[in-house]
Amino acid sequence: MQSSEPYSAVPSFWAATANAHPELLRLASDLDTDVAIVGGGFTGLTTAHYLNRSGIDCVVLEANDAGWGASGRNGGMAVLRYKSGWAALAAQVGLDTAQHMFRVLHDGIDSLEATIAEYGIDCGFSRCGHVTAAHGPKPLAALAADVRWLEREMGYEGAALLSRDEAAQAIGSTEYVGAYLERRSGAIHPLNYARGLAAGVGRKVPVFVSTPVIGYRRDGSGFVLDTPSHRVRAKRIVVATNAYTGLFPLPNDLARRIVPVPSNIIATEPLPAALAANLLPEGHVVTDTRRINLYFRLTPDRRMVFGSRGHLSGSNEPWAFEHIEAAMHRVFPALRNTRIDYRWNGKVGFSLDYFPHFGEAEPGLYYGIGYSGRGVVLTHMVGKMLAAMLRG
């Protein structure tokens, strides 16, 4: 489906290289359902996937197109790490909870991989490994504590601390003092995953695109959701709009839990094979430890995809990406004369504590928001948990 006004097309590398749009529905009449899911990104589609498995009647209502928001614009990194490190997390929430959060996160990526296989989604998923690059001695010490905690408390050997020289070799840059390598993390083409998930789910569940929900109200024991042309009656609602929650009239106490933060990404022209071989030679995806962090990866056709905090203007003009290009040139001086082929932006849904928030806001109204830049895996985890809550 083509993007519909007032929503604009996204000039991203992912959009330019995406698989064909799946054949999805347009709402053409009023309907009744058990669960109405608002939002056709990773959270909404995953929730529908698991609800359908349980035999629960549901529909997905997407204002624009499947994966139009952050789901189809992000860096495509399936990262097995929360914003907080493992040792700090255990100190904050306790050992038992931290161990549970570790297991849930790993179940999330395993379930993500299984869903990709179940629907035969062509999204380039690979367990390429994720590097957390330390920009100074203090964050490196915290990363070292994480490796020790994982070995001691989880018996986990999938993470390793990299020295300065090892990090330079793995990243292809001398910018960092060391790094943390998580070997089970991965990468995907995020828009192809969103479209493939929509196509797979859409064979079993009605997925309506170009169907914005402009309001909702209680009606007896359920809800009525209004769209520009028709109404949907539902016993329960799942709000899965994350950074674009402002497009849906949420209760104020829930809306205040999420902060939409702009993010800008660039993609270079395809790099010469010899140059690409020296940058991220093992194909890892990378985020660094700066408060406003940098994240980058190579695509299968050897483009460098590089992102960070976006310009508040939301502009897609080249001037709004100058700080991203400058950061890329600092990390990778060899790319100073490399052409930028794509520039795009979007919103990332941050929670105040950097953890996802999900649950039942009020009777019958469920939500999953606030992935804080870790949404590829966490959305799958939250969608699975929301479906379990709705199943009862």
- The whole-number pLDDT of residue 99 equals 98
User: Tell me, what's the pLDDT at 349?
Assistant: 87
Residue with tokens 């009605």: 206
Band of the pLDDT at 248, cuts 50, 70, 90?
low
Contact between 118 and 112 (Cβ < 8 Å): no
**Are the CB atoms for 227 and 213 separated by under 8 Å?**
yes
What pLDDT is attached to residue 19? 96
Range in 142-151, 199-208, 254-263 with the lowest mean pLDDT: 254-263
| pLDDT band (50, 70, 90) for residue 58 | very high
* pLDDT: which is higher, 348 or 59: 59
Best CA proximity match to 65, nearest among 124, 123, 9, 125: 9
Coil, strand or helix: which one is 351?
strand
Angle ∠(22,75,207) on CA atoms, nearest 5: 25
Q: Would you place residue 5 in the very low, low, confident or very high pLDDT band (cuts 50, 70, 90)? A: very low
How confident is the model at residue 243, as a pLDDT? Answer: 77
CB 207 within 8 A of CB 40: yes
Nearest C-alpha neighbor of 74 from the set 297, 279, 253, 230: 297
Spans of all domains in the chain: 13-74+191-258+353-391, 126-185+259-350
pLDDT band at 352 (very low <50, low <70, confident <90, very high): confident
Mean pLDDT for 118-139 is 98
Examine the pLDDT at 6 and tell me if it is beyond 50.
no
Closest CA to 136 of 184, 106, 176: 176
Secondary structure letter of residue 25 according to DSSP = B
User: Do 321 and 264 form a contact (C-beta atoms < 8 A)?
Assistant: yes
Secondary structure element (H or E) that encloses residue 96, with its range: helix 95-119
Q: Please report which confidence band the pLDDT of residue 3 belongs to, taking 50, 70 and 90 as the band edges.
A: very low
Those residues whose C-beta lies under 8 Å from the C-beta of residue 268, and which sit 6 or more positions away, are 303, 304, 306, 335, 338, 339, 340, 341
Q: Give the pLDDT confidence score for residue 289 in this predicted structure.
A: 98
Model pLDDT, residue 302: 98
What CA–CA distance (Å, rounded) separates 223 from 235?
Answer: 6
Quote the tokens at residue 290.
Answer: 């700066």
The pLDDT of residue 88 is 96
pLDDT in tens, 13-37: 999 999 999 999 999 999 999 999 9
Answer whether 66's CB lies under 8 Å from 209's CB.
Answer: yes
In the numeric block, the tokens 């998923």 are attached to 125
- Using CA atoms, how far apart are residues 29 and 211, in angstroms rounded to an integer? 12
Of 253, 266, 214, the closest CA to residue 362 belongs to 253
State the pLDDT at residue 392: 87
For domain 13-74+191-258+353-391, which CATH number applies: 3.40.50.20, 3.50.50.60, 1.10.3470.10, 3.30.70.120? Answer: 3.50.50.60
Question: What confidence tens digit (pLDDT) does each residue in 299-340 have?
Answer: 999 999 999 999 888 888 999 999 999 999 999 999 999 999
CA 294, 39, 20, 112 torsion: positive or negative?
positive
- Architecture (CATH level 2) of domain 126-185+259-350: 2-Layer Sandwich (3.30)
pLDDT tens profile 272-295? 999 999 999 999 999 999 999 999
Q: Give pTM, 2 decimals.
A: 0.95
Lowest-confidence range among 118-132, 261-275, 344-358? 344-358
Confidence of residue 252 (pLDDT cuts 50, 70, 90): low
